[in-house]
């Protein structure tokens, strides 16, 4: 990237005229919004800004946050909100090709922010106010939450009728309008989709469909872990509990991040239920990230060893670097695939 310098040296902020803040916005233990990283980053930036500089929030926030925390500065700074649309691991479309939503607290600031982003993005999409930009981001992500919960429900129903869910989905995808394909899986992870519904709930109490979908998705990893554990325990060779290998605990393919990882939640529930041996295999996740869980390295991931040492293999994420053809060669070990994407 030309003209880009990466640094953690705060003194570099003195050289800037535009500050784009994109930091994690998470949840507290009680599921209320945690803006501590955003407030901390803003406090740092405010020590270095000059009149006429630009501050844009890119983090996902509840509706009204931009006006609340940047409103006091709108007469001396150009303040706005432009939600990031980064999808880690995606190579197409490129960041430049993804339309960029922008907003500002004043018309003059909107013009400045538009010109700033137009230097980088092919298409800049201005909206009328920051609240629209804030809710657009939450709407986009919660749309995925609701649809993934629905496709999981329909996939479970299809299996009950002896129907391959993916065949059903592929057939439906031939309809050229009014349908978008989603794939069933164990759940949703990362800093966005599992968290964003609670940003809407914080000041929108009447969202029953989204609340139900969110609850279903949160509970799904543990529910499926219980189901697998019960079946394996009934046929386990070891009297102290089943021996289970969990494949893929990064929150999605290509990622080592464990934030709200469905695979990690699945493994955690298996540990609570009790296994004589519980192991994970994920080339991207280091042992140090989950010290309580044994890691199986690449050399140990072969049919002979898996058949000998495990009662079941649970594929939670089709992680990059895993040779899934190994699982096709197993003769005794049960394989359960939850991630079909």
pLDDT of 323: 95
Residue-wise pLDDT for 2-23, tens only, equals 678 899 999 999 999 999 999 9
Query: pLDDT > 70: what percent of the chain?
Result: 98
> CB within 8 A of 33, min separation 6: which ones?
25, 27, 61, 62, 198, 199, 202
The yes-or-no verdict on residue 341 having pLDDT over 70 is no
Tokens found for residue 341: 């994407």
**Structural domain range at position 323:** 220-337
pLDDT of 193: 93
Residue 185 resides in a domain: no
Residue 175 resides in a domain: no
Give, as one character, the DSSP assignment of residue 288: G
Q: What is the CA angle 80-83-88, rounded to 5?
A: 150
The yes-or-no verdict on residue 86 having pLDDT over 70 is yes
Query: pLDDT > 90: what percent of the chain?
Result: 91
Residue 69 resides in a domain: yes
Residue 24 resides in a domain: yes
Residue-wise pLDDT for 213-230, tens only, equals 999 999 999 999 999 999
Distance CA 273, CA 316 (A): 18
The yes-or-no verdict on residue 109 having pLDDT over 80 is yes
CATH number of the domain encompassing residue 108: 3.40.50.720
Q: Residue range 320-324: average pLDDT?
A: 95
Residue 26 resides in a domain: yes
If one counts the domains in the chain, the total is 2
Confidence of residue 118 (pLDDT cuts 50, 70, 90): very high
Q: Residue range 105-119: average pLDDT?
A: 98
Distance CA 212, CA 148 (A): 12
Helix (H, G, I), strand (E, B) or coil at 60: coil
Burial 248-259, CB ≥16 within 10 A → b, else e: bbbbbbbbebbb
The yes-or-no verdict on residue 66 having pLDDT over 90 is yes
Q: What is the CA angle 236-188-195, rounded to 5?
A: 130
Of residues 330 and 4, more confidence is placed in 330
Tokens found for residue 57: 């929030």
Pairing of strands 78-81, 54-57: parallel
The yes-or-no verdict on residue 1 having pLDDT over 80 is no
* CA proximity to 60, closest of 237, 197, 178: 197
Choosing from 128, 162, 193, the residue where a domain stops is 128
Residue 3 resides in a domain: no
Contact 88, 158 (CB under 8 A): no
pLDDT of 280: 98
Burial group, residue 101, by CB count within 10 angstroms (0-12, 13-18, 19+): buried
Helix (H) or strand (E) holding 58: none
Distance CA 127, CA 322 (A): 43
Residue 249 resides in a domain: yes
The yes-or-no verdict on residue 328 having pLDDT over 90 is yes
Choosing from 92, 108, 128, the residue where a domain stops is 128
Residue-wise pLDDT for 265-288, tens only, equals 999 999 999 999 999 999 999 999
Residue 228 resides in a domain: yes
Confidence of residue 240 (pLDDT cuts 50, 70, 90): confident
Distance CA 49, CA 232 (A): 60
pLDDT of 340: 56
Choosing from 91, 113, 128, the residue where a domain stops is 128
Confidence of residue 88 (pLDDT cuts 50, 70, 90): confident
Confidence of residue 176 (pLDDT cuts 50, 70, 90): very high
pLDDT of 296: 97
Mean pLDDT of the chain: 95
pLDDT of 22: 97
Residues paired with residue 100 on neighbouring β-strands, in sequence order: 124
Handedness of CA 99, 40, 68, 110 (dihedral sign): negative
The yes-or-no verdict on residue 236 having pLDDT over 80 is no
The yes-or-no verdict on residue 73 having pLDDT over 80 is yes
């Amino acid at each position: 990237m030309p003209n880009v310098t990466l640094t953690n040296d705060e003194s570099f902020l003195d050289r800037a005229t535009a500050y784009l803040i994109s930091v994690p916005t998470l949840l507290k233990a009680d599921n209320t919004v945690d803006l501590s990283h955003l407030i901390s980053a803003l406090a740092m930036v405010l020590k270095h800004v000059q009149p006429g500089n630009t501050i844009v929030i890119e983090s996902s926030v509840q509706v009204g946050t931009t006006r609340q925390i940047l409103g006091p500065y709108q007469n001396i700074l150009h303040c706005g909100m432009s939600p990031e649309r980064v999808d880690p691991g995606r190579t197409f479309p490129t960041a430049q090709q993804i339309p960029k939503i922008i907003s500002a607290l004043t018309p003059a600031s909107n013009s400045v922010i538009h010109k700033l982003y137009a230097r980088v993005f092919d298409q800049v999409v201005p909206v009328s106010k920051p609240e629209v930009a804030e809710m657009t981001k939450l709407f986009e992500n919660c749309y995925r939450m609701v649809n993934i919960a629905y496709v999981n429900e329909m996939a479970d129903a299809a299996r009950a009728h002896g129907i391959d869910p993916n065949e059903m989905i592929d057939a439906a995808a031939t309809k050229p309008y009014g349908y978008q394909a989603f794939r069933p899986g164990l759940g949703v992870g990362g800093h966005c989709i599992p968290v964003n519904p609670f940003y809407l709930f914080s000041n929108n109490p009447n969202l029953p469909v989204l609340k139900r979908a969110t609850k279903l998705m949160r509970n799904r990893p543990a529910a499926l872990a219980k189901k697998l554990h019960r079946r394996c325990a009934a046929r386990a060779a070891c009297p102290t509990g089943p021996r289970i290998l969990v494949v893929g605990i990064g929150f999605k393919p290509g990622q080592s991040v464990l934030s709200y990882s469905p695979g990690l939640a699945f493994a955690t529930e298996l540990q609570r239920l009790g296994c004589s041996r519980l192991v994970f295999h994920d080339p991207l996740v280091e042992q140090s990230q989950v010290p309580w869980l044994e890691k199986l390295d690449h050399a140990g991931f072969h049919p002979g060893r898996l058949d000998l040492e495990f009662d079941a293999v649970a594929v939670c994420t089709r992680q990059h670097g895993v040779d899934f053809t190994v699982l096709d060669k197993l003769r005794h070990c049960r394989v359960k695939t939850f991630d079909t994407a």
